[in-house]
Amino acid sequence: MFEDYLRDPSGALATVLDRLRDLALTHGPIAVPLLVALATLFVIGRRWWARRCHEQLVADARQVTILAPPVVDAASGAALWSNLVGLLRPGWRRAVTGQPHLAFEYVFSEAGVTIRLWVPGVIPPGLVERAVEAAWPGAHTRVGPAEPPLPPAGQDQRRIVVGGELRLARPEALPIRSAFDADPIRALLGAPVGLGRDEHACVQVLARPVTGRRVQRARRAARRVHNGTSSHMVGRLLDLLTPGPTRRRHRPAWTRTGALHSDPQTSLEFSAHNRAIVTKQRGSQYETVIRYAVATLLPANTTKEQLRQARDVARGRAHALAASFASYTEHNHYTRHRLRDPGHALGHRRLGRGDLLSVPELAALAHLPTDEAIPGIQRAGARAVAPPPGVAVPGPEAKPIGVTDTGHHRPVALRVPDARHHLHVLGATGSGKSTLLGTMILADAEAGRGIVLIDPKGDLVTDVLSRLPSTAADRVVLFDADSRSRPPCLNPLDGGDTDLTVDNLVSVFRRVYSAFWGPRTDDVMRAACLTLRAQEGVATLADLPKLLADDAFRTRVTAGITDPVLRGFWSWYDELTDSTRSQVISPLMNKLRAFLLRPFVRDAIAAGPSTVDMSAVLDGGICLVRIPKGSLGEETTRLVGSLVVARTWQATTARARARTPQRQRRDASLVIDECHNFLNRAA
């Protein structure tokens, strides 16, 4: 055959064509249907396999809601997408099962905007979450099952959805704008402002890392753009129909060698064009598609006119969302394309063939807003800081605090020597302050350390009681304002140094009732308490009204006083007229009556000798004081709690006066919930 071609090339070619014609006539009726059937099976099988791969992505998919930190670095978006390039699968696996993609979504509603990531189920848990928190230090993530970006219509409702898709208008080798002086998504976040209760919107950026043949195709397209030829199949077919020499002769001046001298302005423009193409080809690449939609929920019986008006409003909002991407126009730009069913397309989150973007381009489209004043953004609050490597872990000499939610998850604790200093637990309601205190109390109880807990709400004491080990039952002393049983007694006038005891008691009353307390009331209560402490037996606060109002009781008590100052006070007091005496003692008497008329307070504070040894509590006991404000009232709760604090301080200072070395004293903790209500002891 080869020799025939050398002797007679045209005759050999004619012979080959005759043989091919004979084969076509002989086997054509069988071969053509077979080829068509094979092509049809190939297309159907490819679509079925793509659908099956997407079903694997959707199965067990999760939704990662991102709470922005107070301060967002503009370069953090690029750091996130650079880290997520690690989601690339090996080449053989991409060829068989495909490459999973992510969906970065801006979801708008009446409450504001929520930023979240849709993550396929095949991606290991925690991988994307840790990448987000590493890219934006201080950001928090909330993980839950995947939900549709637009809510479905409920019963007796119908939904109107208007949306579309944004694709690059020019060859993907040309980049969009990625460098901005201000945040580029500012216009996007402001476009849907004013959404009603039944109006929702979503902008979805689907992205998957690519490599290999997909990047090579983009580079070939870049070379075609550089050579002045079309990058699309139709354009290349049309190029084939034009004569070759004329096509080469009429190539643009900027693509010919030595053309820089032809037109300086054109030369500079296309030089920048080429530099932008080369810059985009560097680094990692993502295949992306941008979809947007606006949904409105209406009653099922809505009239046609109302439907038309709602559709017009939704169309206007959708156009505003699409128009916000005009700021990315540079060498390339986005154009709008129709979607047959926008709601289904956004909810399905399927990514077929997309546009190639570099990491900086994708980061400019999908990132957390850097503007601090944007309203409606869910933020993480204070910036979270990972604990240092040397922080203690729970153990016999450390109180557990919890598990870190920033950085590497590990348990952390507070060393007992560090806990001897004042420890303040600050946070908003519901942030877990009481849970932390309860965990530390249980650790102290298990280790045999002393505990005094004052709870003005009641839930903390209830929680601690339900979780205390049975071995600690004999060490528990419980004051419960809601209990029907008689409480133990902690008499503030019993035991201790007289001057210190009276000074603490008067100071507590003065600070609790500071708005209604004067120097004369302070003088009367101090003298009365010192007098009661000087008598034989155990004095109680219930004796104060009798001392001030009952002449016979006062005469019997003051008869044995030897202190000249106290004797002078009572001589002055006895010389007062009844009306003057009533004016002097009435500010104190009305407070004492309000305090002592409550059965729980009278039994716990003024029932006689103390049945609770606070020194023994500090040496390993557990004293739980449950005094809910709803049961006792604001002022009574403050007064009872302050008296317990004062008595605990007396027992603490007694240790130092006993000259017990510090290393021999057992550790104890005074835990006060809402401590600002009870720190009324004398300084």
320 Cβ contact partners less than 8 Å away, ≥ 6 residues apart:
191, 192
Tokens 């810059």, residue located = 279
Any idea where the domains of the chain sit in the sequence? 2-57, 60-229+283-365, 388-420, 422-488+612-683, 494-598
Is the CB of residue 293 less than 8 Å from the CB of residue 343? yes
Whether the per-residue pLDDT at 253 is higher than 50: the answer is: no
Tokens of 54: 């997407």
The CATH architecture to which 60-229+283-365 belongs is 3-Layer(aba) Sandwich (3.40)
Task: State pLDDT tens for residues 322-343.
Answer: 999 999 998 899 999 999 899 9
As a whole number, mean pLDDT of residues 356-372 equals 91
Tokens of 587: 């500010």
Task: State pLDDT tens for residues 492-536.
Answer: 888 778 888 888 888 888 888 888 888 888 899 999 999 988 888
H or E, element range at 202:
strand 199-210
As a whole number, mean pLDDT of residues 256-264 equals 49
For residues 387 and 627, what is the distance between their CA atoms, to the nearest angstrom? Answer: 36
Is the CB of residue 142 less than 8 Å from the CB of residue 64? yes
* pTM for the predicted model, two decimal places: 0.64
Whether the per-residue pLDDT at 19 is higher than 70: the answer is: yes
> Which residues face 623 on adjacent strands?
452, 477
Whether the per-residue pLDDT at 417 is higher than 90: the answer is: no
Tell me what pLDDT residue 231 has: 52
For residues 412 and 403, what is the distance between their CA atoms, to the nearest angstrom? Answer: 6
- Residue 521 φ/ψ region, left for φ over 0, alpha for ψ in the -120 to 50 degree band, beta for the rest: alpha
Task: State pLDDT tens for residues 435-481.
Answer: 888 888 998 888 888 999 999 988 899 999 999 988 888 899 999 99
SS3 42: helix
For residues 184 and 368, what is the distance between their CA atoms, to the nearest angstrom? Answer: 11
Is the CB of residue 277 less than 8 Å from the CB of residue 153? no
Tokens of 609: 């000798």
Sign, Cα dihedral of 227, 228, 232, 234: negative
CA dist list (Å): 458 to 455, 482, 618: 6, 9, 22
Tokens of 640: 């009872």
Tell me what pLDDT residue 495 has: 78
pLDDT band at 401 (very low <50, low <70, confident <90, very high): confident
Tell me what pLDDT residue 255 has: 44
Task: State pLDDT tens for residues 196-211.
Answer: 888 999 999 999 998 8
Quote the percentage of the chain above a pLDDT of 90: 21
Tell me what pLDDT residue 424 has: 85
Tokens of 521: 């009331």
Is the CB of residue 200 less than 8 Å from the CB of residue 294? yes
How many Cα atoms are found within 13 Å in the side-chain-facing hemisphere of 262? 12
For residues 128 and 624, what is the distance between their CA atoms, to the nearest angstrom? Answer: 45
Is the CB of residue 181 less than 8 Å from the CB of residue 340? no
Tell me what pLDDT residue 28 has: 66
As a whole number, mean pLDDT of residues 540-560 equals 88
Lowest mean pLDDT among 19-33, 240-254, 472-486, 518-532: 240-254
For residues 643 and 678, what is the distance between their CA atoms, to the nearest angstrom? Answer: 8
Amino acid at 299: P
CA dist list (Å): 657 to 438, 531, 654, 669: 31, 25, 5, 19
Characterize the bridge pairing of strands 334-338 and 157-168.
antiparallel
How many Cα atoms are found within 13 Å in the side-chain-facing hemisphere of 551? 7
For residues 437 and 423, what is the distance between their CA atoms, to the nearest angstrom? Answer: 11
Q: How many CB atoms are closer than 10 A to CB 413?
A: 21
Whether the per-residue pLDDT at 662 is higher than 80: the answer is: no
Tell me what pLDDT residue 336 has: 94
Quote the radius of gyration of the chain (alpha carbons, Å).
41
Q: How many CB atoms are closer than 10 A to CB 225?
A: 20
Task: State pLDDT tens for residues 556-586.
Answer: 888 888 888 988 999 998 888 889 988 888 8
pLDDT band at 247 (very low <50, low <70, confident <90, very high): very low
DSSP annotation of 597: T
Most confidently modeled range among 271-285, 624-638, 643-657: 624-638
Query: Please, what is the average pLDDT of the chain?
Result: 83
Quote the percentage of the chain above a pLDDT of 70: 87
DSSP annotation of 634: H
